[in-house]
Amino acid sequence: MAIEIKAPTFPESVADGTVATWHKQPGDAVKRDELIVDIETDKVVMEVLAEADGVLGDIVKGEGETVLSGELLGSLEKGGSAAPKETAKDEPQAASKPAEEAKPAAEEAKSNSGEEPMLSPAARKIAEENGLAPADIEGTGKGGRVTKEDAMNAVEAKKNAPAKAPAEAAKPAAKAGAVDNSALAEGDRVEKRVPMTRLRARIAERLVDAQSSMAMLTTFNEVNMKPIMDLRSKYKELFEKKHNGVRLGFMSFFVKAATEALKRYPAVNASIDGGDVVYHGYQDIGVAVSSDRGLVVPILRNTEYMSLATIEGTIADFGRKAKDGKLSMEDMTGGTFTISNGGVFGSLLSSPIVNPPQAAILGMHKIQERPMAEKGQVVILPMMYLALSYDHRLIDGKEAVSFLVAIKELLEDPARLLLDI
């Protein structure tokens, strides 16, 4: 019995998607809940899983084609078996083939039998870019799943492996469009043109729109991180033990400080909707996370009710989901304020771009030890620059500066967060 493979139901904010990758080909054996195809939308990659054991039938929508919500992608023959291997009468011909062709045939048979390990989207992308076969990567994830780290380790091992013989190096690349660097002469200049992903294109569009549609301005301040660092150093082991392995980081302090500041200055937590200003009576803070596919902003909802441990645990979960391409549309929908931490990449100072329809975004940066004057003495302190970009149509300079100063005061004296002062 044939089962229709359909695109997922897209949210109202997503009009269509693009078929990113077919992980199975017609005739391949498929197991229940096995990943068949990835659908890329403007915000997330949505995975389509097999509804039952069987064999993949015809593919209706190929890679790169646009699909609508619930549109037919292909079919699955329930309970079928993979295409049979070549019969014994074909063996003499197979034996006469060169040894080089025997290995790809064996690998293809292994793939058709369903033994190929499952790769996360990020791991598959790394494997394809570096010409690695999935079977050559040892998976350490749950159920033998190949993670991004597994793929990166395999790439590193490949780079450190001894150079192949000239005959091996002369073989054509396994993947279409792959560049064989061994065949390039010194000084050759190579260019590779690839289509922009939907997520990257959408990010670019929103960034340009944000800068052209609002009166964006950035104000700066700096915060002494020593009180937070001392507090974290004193309690991090006890905190981790108490909260089942959740580690105490800096982001939870910034989220709580921003939450308190948003309560004091509601205009920073508001948004413009046409000719109206919408004031939100809750704090949903987006935390910018870098992934292989681009910048994504999952949302911490109702942060006014979240503890430091809950914030840290949720952010860690978002990071794992982003790495594996598992963030859902619900994870990234909404938000009244955003925090971006360029400091993890070494950024000392930047002007973050507001994420519409929000009115402001806080930029964290690298912690840098600098000489500072304190009570008439020059001391070396771990300092961080803070940047607040805001929509000047809604937020006055006084409110923006006061908001940033409130965050600075709460971070430099964490007891204020507990005492609500």
Residues marked as catalytic: 392, 396
- Amino acid identity, position 30: V
Nearest to 177 by CA among 189, 188, 193: 193
Instruction: Report how far apart, in Å, the C-alpha atoms of 63 and of each of 70, 153, 293 are.
Output: 17, 28, 17
12 CB contacts (<8 Å, ≥6 apart)? none
Residue 238's contacts (CB-CB under 8 Å, 6 or more residues apart) are none
Three-state SS for 328?
Answer: coil
Whether 248 and 260 have beta carbons less than 8 Å apart is answered as: no
Burial of 297 (0-12, 13-18, 19+ CB in 10 A): buried
Integer Cα distance of 43 and 293 in angstroms: 10
Burial of 40 (0-12, 13-18, 19+ CB in 10 A): buried
Place of tokens 């040894």: 99
Q: Which residues pair with 40 in a beta bridge?
A: 18, 45
CB 282 within 8 A of CB 306: no
205-229 burial code (b ≥16 CB/10 A, e <16):
eeeeebeeebebebbeebbbbbebe
